Structures are given as C-alpha cells and as structure tokens.
Copies of this chain bind each other. A is one copy, B any other.
Amino acid sequence: MIEPLIDRLNSLNPMSDELTQRVRSVTRVIEYPADSYILEDGQTCSRACMIEKGLARSYYINDGKEITSRFMDEGFIITSWISYYTQKPGNEFIQAVEDCTLLCIEYADIQRIYKEFPEFNIIGRRQTEYAFYQAELRTQMLRKHTAEEKYRFFLDQHPSLLQRISLKHIATYLGMNEETLSRVRSRFHKKHSL
C-alpha cells in the first residue's frame, strides 16, 4: 500500500535497503472522507503526505473570501509549505475534495532521517525543487492578463481536473468570480466547436 511513496522517493534518488526500511517504519496510511479537513487554519503543518488516491485543495481566507491556492491529486505531496518549513501556524486550510488516502510521515521523523541518513537530504532537496517548480507554473497562470488566458492555461496544465472540481473552486483558484469563469468557458467552447 505504501509502495507509491517508496517508488516516488526512489525516483528522486535511489534509497538503500536500510533507508527504505526506516522510511517504511514511519509511514502511516490515513484516510479522509470528502469535504473533511486535512489541515486547518492556525495549525502547524506537522507532516508531509503523498496522495495515494483522491483529490484535495488548499485555500486561505482573504477579506472573508476563500482563495484556492492549489489542487493536489494522485502522486502529489500535500503540505502547507510555509507552515511546514517554518514549523509555525499557517493560515491555510487543506480540504479533501474527494475521499482521500494519504501516505504520511511526521515532520519530526523526516528531520530524524535527515540526520541519520545524510543522503536523504538529496531526496528532500529534489522534492523541494520539484514542489517549487510546480509552484512557479501556478504563478505563471496568475500572471496571465485576461480571464480567458488563465482558463486556457489551466486547461493545458490540468485537463483532467476540470471534471473533478466545482466551478466555484476553480474560479477562486484562477482569481476570478464564478460568473466570469462561466462566461469565459461558454465563449471559449463556442469558439472551439465552430
């Protein structure tokens, strides 16, 4: 069951049997039903979890409105990055959009493994680099000027997510309101069906 996580870590840098065993020993499988919270506002993000199955989103509240910061599906590492790295309470919620099965390791365990197995830092570094890379792609979307460009960028990046997420959540992710997204989408699909 926790093989997907082991495979993922191995792909970042091959692990010795000893290290693999150590990682296995601290990994726990946790299930979250749809709509439940994996992390809440004000909590410190004390673990890193890989999504084995399901879909989640992170968001925060600004002026009373939800702003979705990202969507995470199978294979992604769920963490509220700022809170995780600083180990201070964050302002992000992470909510299961569908039923989720997560493979989780506690922050304290990860730190211990960094010390016991210095080469595990290679994996930590590469994972951070990858997460950063993903974040930069999301940021490029936000820098698009028009609502249609943002929508197209999202389509390109996450074609499969469109069916799994409500329009409302996609809209707060793209930085526009629901009505605008609805209009953009209908215009867009008219254009492309001609």
Chain A: residues with CB nearer than 8 A to chain B? Answer: 62, 67, 69, 81-82, 85-86, 114, 118-119, 121-122, 124-125, 128-133, 135-136, 138-139, 142-145, 175
6 additional A-B residue pairs with CB within 8 Å, beyond A121-B125, A125-B125, A132-B135: A81-B133, A82-B133, A85-B132, A119-B121, A131-B132, A142-B142
In the complex, A67 Cα to B82 Cα: how many Å?
Answer: 25
Give the number of copies in the complex: 2
A69 CB, min distance to chain B CBs, angstroms: 8
Given that A135-B139, A139-B139, A142-B139 are known contacts, is A114 also in contact with B118, CB under 8 Å in the complex? no
The 6 closest A-B pairs by CB, nearest first: A121-B121, A118-B118, A125-B125, A142-B142, A128-B128, A132-B132
Given that A81-B133, A136-B81, A142-B142 are known contacts, is A122 also in contact with B128, CB under 8 Å in the complex? no
